[in-house]
């Protein structure tokens, strides 16, 4: 009997994933509804006028206060769904986190999001003011550069705000994984244990960062429950993304998508300012909900295509992993363990796969591994 046929989705896995998808859709819908309400009622202009009362000459301060008010409104509106998500993880025994620690994470997430949103908003409207005709091209270039910078600094600056990391205290496994990365042609700046168990019972691993910040991170929940062969198979998949240059290719895809987004924003802002006269100018930050609305709708419209591309890259990474390890069994057993531990769907419906899955379903990944193993056996014999 094949590994793929041995396991099927449990009722808990099906229900948990169905509820998680509904939660995600509700969060997106609620955010869109808030932006649409602010625009339809004109409250966004009232809020702009209100923040300018603090100092009418200080555009930068007024914009910060507007972003702050928008962030608070969004957080208050989504708090109920956030709490439901917290309860959902506990209901299905996937979380170790206490309510107090979760609330502290929510505060940190809000503050980090506020800092990033403020920087992006201030920079965006500065470029609109300085380059009234070509702002969308300049903004596209700047924002792409910031994306590259974020990939580099996230392991050093953002991740440690929410999680603890420590050097892996297993010399044999560290050496084995470092050699695996060297065979893949990539240098890593260390192998780290990711203390995930304080918050979650799920397992994960990643090759984080880029260039001088690239490092291997392994969740302690992975280290506790998986053999060295299985961990090697999981990391080989992550290294496959490097070998296939998926980070670079994904950034190229992102560049095309963001270029289309900025071009669309240019015409939308010009139309609402010159034709509809909804706002004073292109850099009237009362139009921020419109910008969020347009970019979100564009992202949702392109999501099936982007998910399809992501599944394609994941299949390539799987193929590299299968070529890099001595046998397919550790890869298959790791996939099954991850599915069970993370309560993932092994066999979702085709429509769910198309709309929501960035990875091929576990059942398809295992079937591909089995086929690869049989083919390799035939070649060797």
Structure tokens at 286: 């009362």
Distance CA 310, CA 357 (A): 9
Distance CA 163, CA 183 (A): 29
On whether the pTM is more than 0.85, the answer is: yes
Quick one: pLDDT at residue 375? 82
Q: How many residues does the chain have?
A: 381
Distance CA 313, CA 237 (A): 11
User: Where is 377: in which H helix or E strand?
Assistant: helix 362-380
Structure tokens at 138: 């300049």
Distance CA 141, CA 160 (A): 28
Provide CB contacts within 8 A for 149, sequence distance 6+. none
DSSP β-bridge partners for residue 95: 200
Q: Are 28 and 296 in contact (CB under 8 A)?
A: yes
Half-sphere exposure for 351 (CA within 13 Å, toward CB): 2
Structure tokens at 312: 């394609």
DSSP β-bridge partners for residue 166: 193
Q: Are 165 and 217 in contact (CB under 8 A)?
A: yes
| Distance set, CA 155 to CA 177, 201, 216, 334 (Å) | 19, 21, 10, 25
Per-residue pLDDT of the chain (381 residues; tens, 9 = 90+): 444 445 578 899 999 999 999 999 999 999 999 999 999 999 999 999 999 999 888 999 999 999 999 999 999 999 999 999 999 999 999 999 999 999 999 999 999 999 999 999 999 999 999 999 999 999 999 999 999 888 888 888 999 999 999 999 999 999 999 898 888 888 888 899 999 999 999 999 888 877 767 888 999 999 999 999 999 999 999 999 988 999 889 999 999 999 999 999 999 988 887 666 788 888 899 999 999 999 999 999 999 999 999 999 999 999 999 999 988 999 999 999 999 999 999 999 999 999 999 999 999 999 999 998 888 777 766
- Direct distance between the N- and C-terminal alpha carbons of the chain, in angstroms, rounded to an integer: 21
Quick one: pLDDT at residue 276? 67
Segments making up each domain of the chain, as ranges: 8-380
Half-sphere exposure for 30 (CA within 13 Å, toward CB): 16
DSSP H helical ranges for 92-200: 99-130, 135-153, 159-162, 171-183
Distance CA 42, CA 278 (A): 9
Provide CB contacts within 8 A for 357, sequence distance 6+. 307, 311, 348
At CA 301, angle to CA 299 and CA 302, rounded to 5? 65
Taking each continuous run of H as one helix and of E as one strand, the counts in the chain are 15, 4
Specify burial of residue 372 (Cβ count, 10 A radius: 0-12, 13-18, 19+).
Answer: middle
For residue 30, give the nearest of 67, 84, 66, 68 by alpha carbon.
84
Backbone angles phi, psi at 168, to 5 degrees: -65, 125
Distance CA 7, CA 5 (A): 6
Quick one: pLDDT at residue 104? 96
DSSP 286: G
């Amino acid at each position: 009997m094949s590994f793929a046929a041995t396991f099927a989705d449990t009722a808990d896995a099906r229900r948990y994933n169905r509820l998680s998808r509904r939660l995600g859709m509700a969060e997106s819908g609620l955010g869109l509804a808030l932006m649409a309400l602010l625009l339809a009622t004109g409250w966004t202009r009232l809020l702009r006028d209100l923040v300018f009362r603090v100092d009418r000459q200080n555009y930068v301060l007024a914009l910060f206060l507007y972003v702050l008010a928008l962030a608070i409104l969004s957080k208050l509106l989504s708090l109920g769904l956030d709490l439901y998500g917290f309860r959902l993880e506990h209901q299905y025994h996937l979380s170790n986190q206490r309510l107090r620690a979760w609330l502290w994470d929510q505060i940190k997430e809000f503050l980090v999001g506020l800092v990033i949103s403020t920087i992006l908003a201030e920079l965006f409207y500065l470029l609109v003011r300085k380059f009234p005709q070509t702002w969308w091209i300049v903004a596209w270039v700047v924002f792409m550069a910031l994306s590259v910078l974020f990939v580099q600094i996230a392991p050093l600056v953002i991740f440690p705000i929410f999680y603890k990391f420590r050097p892996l205290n297993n010399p044999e496994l560290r050496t084995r994984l470092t050699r695996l990365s060297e065979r893949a042609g990539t240098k890593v700046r260390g192998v780290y244990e990711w203390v995930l168990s304080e918050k979650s019972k799920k397992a994960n691993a990643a090759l984080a960062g880029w260039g001088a910040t690239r490092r291997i991170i392994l969740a302690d929940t992975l280290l506790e429950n998986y053999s060295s062969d299985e961990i090697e198979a999981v990391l080989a998949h992550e290294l496959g993304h490097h070998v296939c240059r998926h980070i670079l290719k994904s950034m190229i895809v992102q560049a095309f998508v963001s270029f289309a987004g900025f071009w669309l924003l240019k015409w939308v802002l010009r139309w609402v300012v010159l034709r509809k006269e909804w706002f004073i100018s292109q850099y009237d930050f009362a139009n921020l909900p419109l910008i969020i609305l347009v970019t979100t709708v564009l992202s949702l419209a392109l999501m099936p295509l982007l998910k399809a591309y992501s599944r394609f890259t994941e299949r390539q990474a799987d193929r590299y992993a299968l070529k890099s390890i001595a046998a397919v069994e550790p890869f298959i057993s790791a996939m099954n363990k991850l599915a069970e531990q993370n309560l993932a769907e092994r066999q979702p419906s085709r429509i769910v796969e198309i709309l929501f899955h960035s990875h091929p379903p576990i059942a398809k990944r295992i079937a591909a591994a089995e086929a690869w193993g049989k083919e390799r056996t035939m070649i060797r014999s």
